[in-house]
């Protein structure tokens, strides 16, 4: 028999026995037919170590799925999943021998195997990924085979020689497979895959953390054993039968905690997690009472996920106590059914051999979402991004006032919540009450929040909402509304938003000159026919082109951190500083200073801020959120380079204006130049032209670096008055120094200045 030659690598008889223990109706005959077919197909093939027969891999995948109590079809499909891709045998042959269901599952896994995830994926690979997910909407069991396949491949990843390939596979696993496992609630797969990815992506950190937890395990061994003995004894006294064991720590979760809270390995709390599995829900709460009666609880760590399950269906009671010898001990209490659900998620339903209706499982919502994402995605790359944003993110659960749970991706805002309830509510969202307190619609929600959306018929979706909408559904509805707005309004709003981004980036006033230089790049970059500046404004106004992306095309972003200086003007009120600080803290990696003072009988408040950002991409969000704070009047960026340049130009202008007649008089007194010579006239008028040029450049610099001043009437009054004011000292100079100047030349120069100012003013009026 063929199995004998593989005895060193796997025990097929033992695997079949384990399957029959949970699946008495399992057809050993059909399974062995599939085994012999796979053995024939993979004969002569080896794994990456060059020694292990390739057949050991599909058998390992079968073994992983058997531990989940997988059904017969999925076990046979797992055995055959690499045949069409890696051998001469075709899918049609599999269909003929084993039936349509098995060939469908094998085909769906094969499609995903063609995908090699990277920053820039080919159209063919993205199309394969799309087809795989659309296949999964018909039968999600294909995903489970692929997860088991990837888990075994990650366990043997060290056999791949090229380190860059190992990193690519690990990154692909972390960004695609781990979110899928989380989506389906299969914590067993999720935790194992995360730790294996962590090992290859961050080997130094993994090694340090592994050794730290191993040391901690040795130190706490006695205390853990004592705690388990004491709890077992207490439960036995109360006639509660329970399985109690220490849970293995997920190293990647610890690492993420370190990164999120700025901790080092030394800062990690030396706690352990004990899992208690009982028979009934009532016993869960009874066990909790016994533990809290015996040990001092940490009240801030209690969570009731039985009454309030997580979005992926997870249920348990979580608590934390000062256990034996004072060791901080996290405790998870659940029933056997909850444990099966927690470890195997939706698979617990798929492989429930009482034939449940899997489409009624709450975790099955992503089937509809994948179809929705596919419909809304115009480009293949768009599909990948929306899949990651809408489906692969961690989830949160938000409640309506009536207690209805709404499932959303982590980072979702009130806007997403409102649209999830009803598109009409989303369209007219004014603000919302979160746990009884009023917040603007752009506020980010946290799991467990109770939200009441306040609407107004006078409110309609605005362009900046797109920056805070996380779900594809909300974004598509906002864009749908914006597309119906009049062309004039689209151009106006698009222009305003682009000007705002220009001001943030210090690029000055938006004008046709910048567009002419790079308009050919825009159509390629944004996939739209952009021929004029108004076309660009329209694209921005519809939400199809991001203003920040336009700025990036003009001014390439820094790879390093960015220091941002802000000035904030507001109406003074209690709590204003706290609200400003919360926004800045959320987006900045460091805050160098935040100064505030009141003026005008404490009615107005002024703030000067310097923060450090990891990316310029979040600056627009900072401005939007600050401007939504009650009482904020203005938020603008200060460029100290611009301030210093303005002071320098002003000083030079004044100095030249004062020195100009004196220099001419010296030349005259020393009889170096004749009054009536052409050289004298050239020097005189050239000097005046330079002075007028400096005045104009000073005005340009002011408009570029001081957007608040640009929009004030005062600046324009000053700009138009300056040439007239300049002629007054000029008259004095002529009379006092007895200079002979050409009034015709002077008037021409003044006319040129006013022509420039007039054109600038007309352009400005068109923008507002």
Mean pLDDT of 489-496: 87
* Among the four given CATH numbers 3.20.20.120, 3.40.50.1010, 3.30.70.260, 3.40.50.12240, the one describing domain 557-638: 3.30.70.260
Whole-number percent of the chain with pLDDT over 90 = 31
User: Is residue 157 scored above 50 in pLDDT?
Assistant: yes
| pLDDT score, position 97 | 94
Q: With a cut of 60, say whether residue 428 has pLDDT above it.
A: yes
Kindly give the pairing relationship between strand 328-335 and strand 272-278.
parallel
Q: Give the pLDDT confidence of 731-755 residue by residue, as tens digits.
A: 666 666 565 566 666 677 667 767 7
Q: Where are the alpha helices (DSSP H) in 330-396?
A: 336-344, 347-350, 365-376, 380-390
**What local confidence, expressed as pLDDT, does residue 379 receive?**
54
Q: pLDDT tens-digit profile of 506-563?
A: 777 787 777 776 666 666 666 567 778 888 888 888 888 888 888 877 776 655 678 8
| pLDDT for the residue 500 | 83
198 against 219, higher pLDDT: 198
CA angle 211, 212, 214 (to 5 degrees): 60
With a pLDDT cut of 70, the percent of the chain lying above it is 74
Catalytic residues: 85-86
Q: How crowded is the C-beta side of 199, counted as CA atoms within 13 Å? A: 15
Domain boundaries, the chain: 2-186, 210-344, 393-483, 557-638, 640-767
Summarize the confidence of residues 33-52 as an average pLDDT.
91
Question: What architecture does CATH give domain 2-186?
Answer: Orthogonal Bundle (1.10)
Lowest average pLDDT, out of 209-223, 299-313, 708-722, goes to 708-722
Q: Which of residues 259 and 261 earns the better pLDDT score?
A: 259
Q: What is the bridge-based pairing of β-strands 395-399 and 328-335?
A: unpaired
426 vs 524, higher pLDDT: 426
Mean pLDDT of 612-621: 83
In this structure, whether the domain defined by 210-344 belongs to CATH 3.40.50.1820 is answered with: no
Query: Distance between CA atoms of 488 and 492, rounded to whole angstroms?
Result: 6
Q: What is the mean pLDDT of the chain?
A: 81
Q: Do domains 210-344 and 557-638 have the same CATH topology?
A: no
Most confident of 417-421, 563-567, 597-601, 623-627: 417-421
CB 188 within 8 A of CB 344: yes
Least confident piece of the model among 1-15, 149-163, 259-273, 612-626: 259-273
Q: Look at the pTM and tell me if it is higher than 0.85.
A: no
Q: What is the pLDDT of residue 670?
A: 60
Which stretch of 432-436, 493-497, 762-766 has the lowest confidence by average pLDDT?
A: 762-766
Q: pLDDT at residue 185 above 60?
A: yes
Task: Tell which wins on pLDDT, 127 or 706.
Answer: 706
Task: Determine which of 339-343, 371-375, 541-545 has the lowest per-residue pLDDT on average.
Answer: 371-375
The predicted model gives 372-382 an average pLDDT of 57
Which pLDDT belongs to residue 704? Answer: 72
Span of 110-119, 150-159, 507-516 with lowest mean pLDDT: 110-119
Residue 399's pLDDT band (cuts 50, 70, 90): confident
Topology of domain 393-483 in CATH is Ubiquitin-like (UB roll) (3.10.20)
- Give start and end residues of each alpha helix (H) in 156-202: 163-172, 178-183, 187-201
More confident residue, 732 or 115: 732
* Residue 358, pLDDT score: 47
Query: What is the pLDDT confidence band of residue 120, given thresholds at 50, 70 and 90?
Result: very low
Which residues of 517-670 form beta strands (DSSP E)? 562-571, 590-599, 604-613, 632-637
For residues 41 and 506, the model is more confident at: 41
Contacts by residues 595-600 (CB-CB < 8 Å, ≥ 24 positions apart): 598/572
Check pLDDT > 80 for residue 33: yes
Residues 6+ apart with CB under 8 A from 680: 667, 673, 674
CA nearest neighbour of 410 among 399, 423, 395: 395
**CA-closest candidate to residue 248, choices 197, 287, 169, 191:** 191
């Amino acid at each position: 028999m063929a199995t004998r030659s593989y005895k060193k690598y796997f025990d097929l008889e033992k695997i079949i026995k384990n399957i029959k223990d949970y699946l008495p109706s399992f057809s050993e005959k059909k399974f062995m037919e599939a085994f012999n077919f796979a053995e024939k197909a993979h004969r002569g093939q080896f794994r990456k170590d060059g020694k292990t027969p390739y057949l050991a891999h599909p058998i390992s995948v079968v073994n992983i799925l058997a531990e989940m109590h997988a059904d017969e079809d999925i076990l046979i499909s797992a055995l055959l999943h690499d045949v069409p891709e890696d051998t001469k045998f075709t899918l049609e042959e599999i269909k003929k021998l084993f039936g349509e269901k098995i060939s469908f599952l094998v085909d769906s896994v094969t499609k995903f195997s063609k995908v090699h995830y990277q920053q820039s994926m080919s159209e063919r690979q993205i199309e394969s990924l799309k087809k795989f997910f659309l296949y999964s909407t018909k039968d999600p069991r294909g995903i489970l085979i692929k997860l088991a396949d990837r888990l075994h491949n990650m366990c043997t990843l060290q056999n791949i020689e090229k380190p860059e390939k190992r990193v690519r596979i690990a990154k692909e696993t972390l960004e695609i497979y781990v979110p899928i496992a989380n989506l389906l609630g299969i914590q067993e797969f999720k935790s194992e895959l995360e730790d294996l990815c962590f090992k290859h992506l961050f080997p130094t950190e993994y090694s340090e953390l592994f050794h730290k937890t191993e040391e901690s395990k040795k130190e706490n061994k006695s205390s853990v054993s004592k705690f388990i003995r004491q709890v077992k004894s207490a439960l036995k006294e109360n006639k509660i039968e329970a399985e109690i064991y220490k849970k293995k720590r997920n190293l990647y979760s610890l690492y993420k905690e370190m990164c999120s809270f700025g901790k080092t390995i030394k800062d990690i709390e030396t706690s352990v997690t004990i899992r208690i599995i009982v028979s009934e829900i009532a016993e869960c709460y009874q066990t909790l009472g016994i533990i809290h009666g015996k040990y001092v609880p940490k009240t801030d760590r209690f969570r009731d996920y039985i009454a309030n399950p997580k979005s992926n269906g997870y249920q348990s009671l979580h608590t934390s106590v000062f256990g034996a010898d004072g060791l901080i001990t996290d405790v998870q209490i659940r029933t056997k059914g909850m444990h099966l659900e927690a470890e195997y998620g939706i698979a617990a339903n798929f492989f429930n051999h009482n034939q449940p209706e899997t489409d009624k499982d709450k975790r099955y919502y992503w089937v509809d979402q994948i179809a929705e994402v596919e419909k809304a995605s115009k480009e293949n790359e768009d599909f990948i991004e929306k899949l990651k944003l809408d489906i692969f993110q961690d989830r949160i659960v938000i409640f309506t006032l009536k207690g209805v749970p709404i499932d959303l991706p982590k980072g979702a805002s009130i806007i997403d919540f409102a649209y999830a309830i009803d598109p009409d509510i989303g369209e007219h969202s004014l603000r919302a009450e979160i746990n009884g307190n009023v917040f603007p619609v752009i506020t980010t929600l946290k799991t467990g929040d109770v939200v009441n959306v306040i609407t107004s018929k006078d409110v309609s979706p605005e362009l900046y909402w797109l920056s805070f909408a996380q779900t594809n559904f909300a974004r598509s509805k906002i864009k749908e509304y914006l597309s119906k707005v009049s062309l004039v309004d689209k151009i106006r709003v698009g222009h305003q938003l682009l000007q705002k981004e220009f001001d943030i980036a210090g690029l000055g006033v938006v004008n046709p000159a910048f567009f002419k230089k790079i308009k050919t790049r825009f159509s390629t970059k944004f996939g739209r026919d952009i021929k004029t500046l108004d076309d660009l404004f329209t694209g921005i106004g519809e939400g199809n082109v991001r203003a920040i992306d336009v700025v990036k095309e003009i001014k390439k972003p820094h790879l390093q951190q960015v220091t941002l200086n802000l000035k904030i003007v507001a109406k003074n009120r209690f709590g204003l500083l706290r609200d400003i600080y919360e926004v800045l803290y959320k987006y900045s990696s460091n805050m160098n200073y935040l100064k505030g003072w009141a003026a005008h009988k404490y009615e107005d408040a002024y703030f000067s801020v310097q923060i450090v950002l990891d990316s310029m991409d979040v600056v627009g969000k900072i401005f939007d959120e600050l401007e939504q704070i009650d009482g904020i009047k203005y938020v603008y960026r200060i460029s100290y380079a611009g301030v210093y340049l303005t002071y320098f130009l002003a000083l030079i202008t004044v100095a030249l204006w004062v020195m100009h007649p004196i220099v001419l008089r010296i030349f005259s007194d020393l009889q170096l130049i004749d009054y009536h010579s052409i050289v004298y006239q050239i020097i005189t008028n050239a000097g005046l032209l330079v002075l007028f040029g400096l005045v104009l450049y000073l005005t340009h610099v002011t408009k570029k670096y001081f957007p608040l001043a640009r929009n004030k009437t005062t600046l324009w009054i000053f700009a138009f008055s300056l040439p007239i004011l300049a002629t007054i000292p000029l008259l004095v100079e002529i009379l006092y120094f007895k200079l002979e100047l050409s009034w015709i030349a002077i008037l021409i120069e003044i006319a040129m200045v006013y022509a420039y100012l007039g054109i600038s003013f007309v352009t400005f009026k068109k923008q507002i």
